[in-house]
Structure 1
């Protein structure tokens, strides 16, 4: 269900406080009907962080809601959102994320990478306060997870990393050879792209 936004709510998002300010009003508005159930919303943002839409994805039970990836991203793709924020409420008022909250966030982060619609935060809200995965570093931690990364993507990442290491090792060997031939550090740095500090750390026997 697409949430109708007022002119004042169609703002640029600067931080999680901005998101909570809007979502708190929406929660209180919707809570008159289903105040004892979890709501799961998706906020779609334009490239300049202006809100394009807020979509209610699902209504759950007292302590659980479902967030199917297809439902989460279909509206975002239709509206051409370049990034999204996840948001759901805890009717109990307890803002600590559950293992299920972390798991669905992990999964949606990876789906967002595949469909090129970045997930940038997940807020758990109540009538009076909120918890931001991003603010406490939990979001960055989940982004490093490989639990829901497809095997072929993992293989690509490993191959890319191995290529980078091989290229760096080759560059270091070239720099060492230049140093053996008596080239000064500034010329070596300019020729190889290494920093002056890295060049100075190289230990070689000059000819």
Structure 2
């Protein structure tokens, strides 16, 4: 369900507090019965972090709401969003993220990467306060997780890492060879110690 926003509410979200001010008002607009159930919203942002749309994706129970990645990203993709913020409330007022909250965020981070629409934050809100995954450092921690990273992506990352290590090792060998040449070692000795070819060692003179 699309949340109708006033013109002045379509602001730039420069920090979690900016968004919380709007989401708090949206939550308070709900009837008391609905306010005591978990809501899940997606906030679509443009390149300037301006709000394009706020969508109520799911309305759950007092302590749980249904989260499907396809539903979370459906409207942001239609709105041509380039960034997404996830928001849900805890009717109990306890803002500490549950293990389920962390797991859902972990999964949606990877979905956002695949869609090229990154998840920039996840807010847990109550009528009086909020918790930001970004501000707490938890979002950065979850971005390092490999739990929901596809196997092909892990393979690509490992291959990239191996190339970087190989490149660093090659650079180190060249520095050793350059120093040895400077100190007058024979090329054959440098080849034996560094494993570099004669051609590579010879070219080092001109570098």
* Equivalent in the alignment of 1:131: 131
Measure the CA separation in 2 of the matches of 1:31 and 1:136. 31
Displaced runs of 4 or more, over 6 A: none
- How far apart, in 1, do the equivalents of 2:5 and 2:176 lie? 62
Which position in structure 1 is the counterpart of 2:107? Answer: 107
Between the aligned partners of 1:180 and 1:19, the Cα distance in structure 2 is 60
SS at structure 1 position matched to 2:120 = strand
Q: For structure 2, which runs of at least 5 residues remain unmatched after alignment?
A: 184-207
* Counterparts of 1:30 and 1:68, CA distance in 2: 23
State the Cα distance separating 1:33 from its structure 2 match.
5.3
TM-score by length of 1: 0.85
Deviation at 1:66, TM superposition (A): 1.2
The aligned residue for residue 79 of structure 2 is 79
| Superposed displacement of residue 35, structure 1 | 1.4
Unaligned runs of 5+ in 1: 184-207
RMSD: 1.2
* Structure 2 CA distance for aligned equivalents of residues 39 and 16 of structure 1: 18
Return the TM-score normalized by structure 2: 0.85
Indicate the residue corresponding to 1:190 in structure 2: none
Q: How does 1:94-173 map to 2 (within 5 A)?
A: 94-173=94-173
2:25 matched to 1:25? yes
Shift of 1:179: 2.2
Q: 1:21 to 1:177 in 2, by over 3 A?
A: same
Q: What are the superposed Cα offsets for residues 100-129 of structure 1, whole Å, 9 maximum, x if unpaired? A: 101100000011011111001100000000
C-alpha offsets along residues 164-193 of structure 1, whole Å, 9 cap, x if unaligned?
11111111212222222229xxxxxxxxxx
Aligned length in residues:
183
User: 2: distance between equivalents of 1:158 and 1:31?
Assistant: 51
Q: Corresponding residue for 1:188?
A: none
Mean alpha-carbon deviation: is it higher for 36-45 or for 172-181? 172-181
Partners of 2:62 and 2:83 lie apart in 1 by 29
Bigger Rg, structure 1 or 2: 2
